[in-house]
Amino acid sequence: MLITEILERNARMYRDETALIEREPEINKRVSITWQEFDEQANRVAYFLMQNGIEKGDKVAHLMMNCIEWLPIYFGILKAGAIAVPLNFRFEASTIAACVELAEPRVIFFGKEFIERVSQVKDRLDPLIEQYVFQGEDSIQPDYAISYRQIEGLGKGFSHGPDLSLSDDAALYFTSGTTGIPKAVLLTHRNLEFSCYIENHHHRQTHEDCFLCIPPLYHTGAKMHWFGNFIVGAKSVILKGVDPQWILEAVSEEQVTIVWLLVPWALDILFSIETGELKLHDYQLDQWRLMHIGAQPVPSSLIREWKRIFPNHEYDTNYGLTETTGPGCVHLGLENSHKVGAIGKPGFDWETQILDDQLKPVDKGNPGELAVRGPGVMKAYFNNDEATSEVLTKGWLLTGDIAREDADGFIWLVDRKKDVINTGGENIYPVEIEEFLQGHEKIQDVAVIGLPSSRLGEIATAIVQVKKDVQMTKKEVLEFCGSLPRYKRPRRVIFDNIPRNATGKIEKPRLREIHSGIKEAFKKLDEDSKS
């Protein structure tokens, strides 16, 4: 069943029941829509697109912060037979332009937060974008865009878009290689449908559940976890903000049963409870049954403390990639919290292998590259046959992650094959920061590596080799990085020589070994928490 058909079914079966709630505590805002309103809004978007010449297979870009309009626009794009192109709201203007040039969308929906970025590169977008649709206040609407409000009165007679099948292309989700140049992952309607079934199979959502969505919807993780509620017509809450108090208020007031967190948010909640800033008796939390985490390694000490405070909570870890239509190709399982630290076993209808450099299975216990196969594997990297052939072989997807399988069949990540740094669930690409820092007149050489962080998973650390007879301070390095986006700025600076091999490549494994004293500190914290 197409996910657009699931929406239409929900609108028939649960017509006046709440589908989505948006909470923005900072301005005391709460709005909601029913399943019928959700479907009607998607129909209006589809009608607008089709009236403006969008045909099956055309692309429509989507650049918005999380809000209650996000999902109706996404589904409207799909109903029109178009391919949805969600864009990362962290992208800089130049990256937005590069993604548009690759995907070639004819229409872009964008929110108020992106006026400056879109305007900066409009000259690059204009040859491709035929219609700019602005979602925001009329008073700040750019003169080159039409208002999303103009769509609200359209499409009341809309009944059906072009015929679609599960094998048709549905969406392009951007990821990036270590060069930071985005690649577009092409997903089919079958990929999207399967993600509904696998999420529901893993976390057993019923119509009575309520899912709290905090991470960005442009990412496959947040949306595909929401799909588990969506397929059974259960309501969900979109929370704008990650303050621990706001999270617990949302859980309490909306009777949330399932929350997907990143490690930093879970740690912040625990810290706020420990310090007395949050008092659990102030909230109604008895209905909260599941907390699960993904996108980064999870410290076992965190889960031990979480289970101490919330002994009745089920827990799960999910592993996935954009190329696997998000999370679930490997997952820990609700019954396996004793194995926290592992990413788990193959998910529902998935297979896994751990391979050597010749793509032959390694012996159990030995490290190798994790490969996965299942209905969630992407169709291809869009317009990039070379990159596709590097990761897809006979239906298997090479993940680029080094893993091992223990005697019980649980998979443990050992290291990333590439040097991408995952901090707080977001990928940081070292070469971008290295190239930027090379522009400083005092720096001879530089390497950026990820070092362990109990809160963020990893932190970007700049190893800086200063030119001979030149003095430089950490403050100078950090101030120089001030023009980088905040999430790309190094959290630590270490002055040292940069080791390179005979071919001139930086020996990053050696650097991580030299400077991983912080890892031993976290190991000690884990040991102390057991005693």
How are the residues of the chain apportioned to helix, strand and coil, as percentages rounded to the nearest 5? 35, 30, 35
User: What would the 3-class secondary structure string for 482-521 be?
Assistant: HHCCHHHCCCEEEECCCCECCCCCECHHHHHHHCCHHHHH
Question: What is the percentage of the chain residues whose pLDDT exceeds 70?
Answer: 93
What value does the mean pLDDT of the chain take?
A: 90
Range scoring the smallest mean pLDDT among 87-91, 120-124, 248-252, 423-427: 423-427
* 319 has pLDDT over 80: yes
Q: State pLDDT tens for residues 283-312.
A: 999 999 999 987 666 777 788 889 999 999
What count of Cα atoms within 13 Å lies in the side-chain half-sphere of residue 166?
Answer: 12
Question: Does residue 391 contact residue 323 with C-beta atoms inside 8 Å?
Answer: yes
CA 417 to each of CA 153, 400, 423, 478: distance values in angstroms, whole numbers, following the listed order: 51, 5, 16, 28
How does residue 439 score in pLDDT terms, banded at 50, 70 and 90? confident
* 178 has pLDDT over 60: no
Quick check: helix, strand or coil at residue 278? coil
Eight-state DSSP code of residue 375:
T
What count of Cα atoms within 13 Å lies in the side-chain half-sphere of residue 484?
Answer: 21
Quick check: helix, strand or coil at residue 317? strand
- In whole angstroms, give the CA distance from residue 193 to residue 78: 13
**What are the CB-based long-range contacts (under 8 Å, 24+) for 501-507?**
506/447
Please identify which residue in the block is written with the tokens 């239409």: 8
Q: State pLDDT tens for residues 215-262.
A: 999 988 889 999 999 999 999 999 999 999 999 999 999 999 999 998
Range scoring the smallest mean pLDDT among 78-87, 363-372, 499-508: 499-508
- In whole angstroms, give the CA distance from residue 147 to residue 220: 27
Question: Does residue 344 contact residue 218 with C-beta atoms inside 8 Å?
Answer: no
* 415 has pLDDT over 70: no
* 455 has pLDDT over 90: no
Question: Does residue 61 contact residue 88 with C-beta atoms inside 8 Å?
Answer: no
Closest-CA residue to 515 (of 471, 460, 454): 460
Range scoring the smallest mean pLDDT among 206-220, 342-356, 367-381, 455-469: 455-469
Q: Which domains does the chain have, with CATH numbers?
A: 1-241 (3.40.50.12780), 289-418 (2.30.38.10), 427-530 (3.30.300.30)
Residues comprising the chain, all counted: 531
- In whole angstroms, give the CA distance from residue 433 to residue 489: 8
Determine the pLDDT at residue 416.
64
Determine the pLDDT at residue 179.
41
Query: How remote is the C-alpha of 175 from its chain's centroid?
Result: 10
Eight-state DSSP code of residue 236:
E
How does residue 434 score in pLDDT terms, banded at 50, 70 and 90? confident
Closest-CA residue to 338 (of 307, 370, 297, 295): 307
Determine the pLDDT at residue 176.
57
What residues contact 398, with CB distance under 8 A and at least 6 apart?
355, 369, 371, 390, 391, 392
CA geometry: angle 44, 50, 56, nearest 5 deg: 120
Largest CA distance in the chain: 75
The backbone torsions φ and ψ at residue 434, rounded to the nearest 5 degrees and listed phi first, read -60, -45
